[in-house]
């Protein structure tokens, strides 16, 4: 869109062009993001999965890779990111609770186990794979 403005020097065209200083595009964008999440205590962070290198967009709920479902041992209490272990956590089991699927992650480094709800965007093929291998392990016992 082109705005024509009259100035003392005559008629000038004010054409917004990406990359010019007066567009304000970048700063406006961060304002919107800031306003949108103001007042929320959730941890919103993007991360790259260390298991399969998939880029994950943080939504504040997901703490595991949506593609391979592996997690990382970073929390002492949920969301505090204070755990120094930093080991990769393998999804070892899945069960259902209140119509949700819940994954059990086990830290490969220290053996810590934690339950995490499966998110809407998670790779359900992988959930099924875990459930299947879980069932096979049960049968072969
Ligand atoms: Zn992954
Ligand atoms: Zn650990």
The residues spanned by each domain of the chain are 3-139
Ligand with minimal distance to 126 CA = 1
**Residue 5 pLDDT level (bands cut at 50, 70, 90):** low
CA of 74 to the centre of ligand 2 (A): 8
* pLDDT for position 18: 52
**Residue 35 pLDDT level (bands cut at 50, 70, 90):** very low
Q: What is the percent of the chain where pLDDT is above 90?
A: 46
**Residue 77 pLDDT level (bands cut at 50, 70, 90):** confident
CA of 56 to the centre of ligand 1 (A): 8
Listed in sequence order, the residues at least 6 apart from 23 whose beta carbon sits closer than 8 Å to its beta carbon are 16, 17
CA of 28 to the centre of ligand 1 (A): 33
Highest mean pLDDT among 11-15, 44-48, 76-80, 115-119: 115-119
**Residue 32 pLDDT level (bands cut at 50, 70, 90):** very low
Task: Please choose, from the candidates 88, 121, 83, 119, the residue with its C-alpha nearest in 3D space to the C-alpha of residue 103.
Answer: 119
CA of 68 to the centre of ligand 1 (A): 4
CA of 33 to the centre of ligand 1 (A): 26
Listed in sequence order, the residues at least 6 apart from 103 whose beta carbon sits closer than 8 Å to its beta carbon are 64, 69, 91, 93, 94, 115, 116, 117, 118, 127, 130
56 touches 62 (CB < 8 A): yes
Reply yes or no on whether the pLDDT at 49 is more than 80. Answer: yes
Q: How large is the average pLDDT for residues 116-136?
A: 92
CA of 127 to the centre of ligand 2 (A): 22
Reply yes or no on whether the pLDDT at 15 is more than 50. Answer: yes
How many Å apart are CA 86 and CA 7, to the nearest integer?
A: 60
User: What contacts 24+ positions apart, CB below 8 Å, involve 29-35?
Assistant: none
């Amino acid at each position: 869109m082109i705005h024509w403005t009259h100035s003392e020097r005559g008629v000038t065209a004010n054409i917004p062009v990406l990359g010019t200083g007066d567009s304000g595009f970048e700063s406006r964008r961060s304002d919107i993001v800031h306003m949108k999440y103001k007042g929320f205590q959730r941890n919103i962070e993007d991360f790259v999965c260390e298991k399969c290198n998939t880029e994950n967009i943080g939504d504040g709920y997901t703490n595991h890779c949506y593609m391979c479902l592996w997690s990382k041992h970073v929390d002492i209490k949920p969301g505090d990111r204070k755990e120094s272990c930093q080991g990769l956590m393998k999804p070892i089991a899945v069960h259902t609770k209140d119509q949700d699927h819940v994954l059990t992650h086990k830290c490969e480094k220290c053996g810590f186990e934690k339950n995490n709800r499966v998110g809407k965007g998670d790779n359900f093929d992988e959930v099924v794979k875990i459930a299947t291998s879980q069932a096979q392990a049960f049968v072969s016992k």
